Amino acid sequence: MPTTGAIIESVDENDVLTIYIKGALRFKAYADFKEAYQGVSKDYTFIVDLGEVEMVDSSGLGMLMTLREYAGGESANITLANCRPVIKSILISARFQDLFKMH
């Protein structure tokens, strides 16, 4: 098992980068998360698949915000996909529905 507590993989296909996260999205996963999108054009569509995320802490929320800034801030095209109810509740509490597309 990785020391980050998360397994992060990305798939780059037709100007869409999908980042799959499994486990806990917290500070220990920061380097792996950043590596998943580093070097990809800011003009890409980004999908962060949270379907297998067990928990998100404030550092994890910050990591999503860092991706948003990387991808162009307000003009970023990012979808947070497959959110489990408990994860979606955390994201909504943080008002992420105002910053990201969510489904």
Question: How far out from the chain centre does Cα 74 lie?
Answer: 16
Q: Can you tell me the distance from the alpha carbon of 33 to that of 14, in angstroms, rounded to the nearest whole number?
A: 20
CA separation, residue 24 to residues 8, 16, 59, 62 (Å): 10, 24, 11, 14
In this predicted structure, the answer to whether residue 1 has a pLDDT above a threshold of 60 is no
In this predicted structure, the answer to whether residue 46 has a pLDDT above a threshold of 80 is yes
Mean pLDDT of 51-67: 97
Mean pLDDT of 1-13: 79
| Side-by-side strand order, sheet with 16-25 | 6-13, 16-25, 45-56, 78-81, 101-102
State the angle between helix axes of 58-70 and 30-37 in degrees (0 to 180), rounded to the nearest 10.
Answer: 20
pLDDT of residue 3: 46
Mean pLDDT of 58-70: 98
Q: pLDDT band at residue 102, thresholds of 50, 70 and 90? A: very high
